[in-house]
Amino acid sequence: MKKITGWHHITSIASDAQKNYEFMTQVLGLRLLKKTVNQDDVTAYHTFFGDENASAGNDLTYFDFPGIPKAVRGTNAITSIGLRVPSDAALDYWFKRLEEFKVKHHDIDELFGVKGLRFEDHDGLRYRLVSDENGAGGTAPGTPNQWSDVPDEFAIIGIGTIEITVRHLEGQESWLIDTLGFRRIGEEEGAIRYETGDGGNSSSIHVRVDQKSQNEYQGYGSVHHIALRIPDHAELMKRIEHVNSLYYPNSGFVTRFYFESLYTRVDSILYEFATDVPGFTVDEPLATLGESLSLPPFLEGNREEIERTIRPFDTTRINYRK
């Protein structure tokens, strides 16, 4: 098997697809890459955001399950999403931008030699911008959204260090090191750092231990799952065989049309393996990604019913550059 190189995407739960779309595009400056539905619950949107060219490994995705309550924070959960920016100077830009948009945030910090800036979106979902100035990692930076008003030199360029919080370390450490091939790097300020591939921001995860809090109650403002990056079908089949040999409960092979997947839960943390191919341009041209509702072929026959069920919103691309 090839080594895991980093993250394919991170999926979270939003209270409202339109508000989330506005925050991701107008505030964070990301590009909407796909507007589709949750294939297991077509009453919810599934939106994907990333860089200009829909590069693999740079995607943030969201479900907006109707009527879901707000998350109750706790342990045994994915507790922060990392977003890479090019430099320490970019963090200064984002500090001012978050102030301008009245986004809740902290001061610039430093962890394992990497400067960062923590903030929350309108749902209370937690993020940390991380500077690539010291240790970008092996995943190439994405191309900034060319229709955003965020200058290219400060733009978000991919997924960075993810943080999870667990009640017991042993299960996660065994999964990360023995099953996935991560390396334990060290411990600092209560966070244990693990890296894979070339390491750095694009291929790292921080694990914290919290045995006092209740388990997190998932809802809007929480992360649903983490997806690990797999190049293709053949490699995914090897991962399925490997996970089965270790007796991890799992979904088996799943096709999502835009990629192929395997899901398994490790001590309450849901992991997905997802392939880079075929990608988001399999049914839409790059120039107009996300502007209309896309459905995989096995749902296309239900389009009329789906469009009656979900609340439509306009995602025609807007140029915010002045």
pTM of the full predicted structure?
0.97
Mean pLDDT over each residue of the chain, to the nearest integer: 97
Nearest to 194 by CA among 203, 202, 184: 184
Containing 304, the helix (H) or strand (E) segment is: helix 303-309
Q: Does residue 220 surpass a pLDDT of 80?
A: yes
Q: CB atoms < 10 A from the CB of 248, how many? A: 15
Number of helices and strands in the chain (H, E): 6, 16
The pLDDT tens digits of the residues spanning 76-102 come to 999 999 999 999 999 999 999 999 999
Find residue 117's DSSP bridge partners: 108, 129
Q: Does residue 189 surpass a pLDDT of 80?
A: yes
Residues 137 and 116: their CA atoms lie apart, in Å, by 15
Containing 303, the helix (H) or strand (E) segment is: helix 303-309
Residues 16 and 5: their CA atoms lie apart, in Å, by 32
**What mean pLDDT comes out for the span 166-184?**
98
CATH classification of 7-309 is 3.30.470.10, yes or no?
no
Q: Does residue 278 surpass a pLDDT of 90?
A: yes
pLDDT at 135: 80
Residues 7 and 60: their CA atoms lie apart, in Å, by 10
Q: Does residue 306 surpass a pLDDT of 90?
A: yes
The radius of gyration of the chain's CA atoms, rounded to the nearest angstrom, is 19
282: amino acid identity, one letter: V
Nearest to 129 by CA among 166, 149, 103: 103
**What mean pLDDT comes out for the span 236-255?**
98
Q: Does residue 298 surpass a pLDDT of 90?
A: yes
DSSP-derived secondary structure letter, 69 = P
The pLDDT tens digits of the residues spanning 98-144 come to 999 999 999 999 999 999 999 999 999 999 999 999 887 778 899 99
pLDDT at 309: 94
Find residue 31's DSSP bridge partners: 50
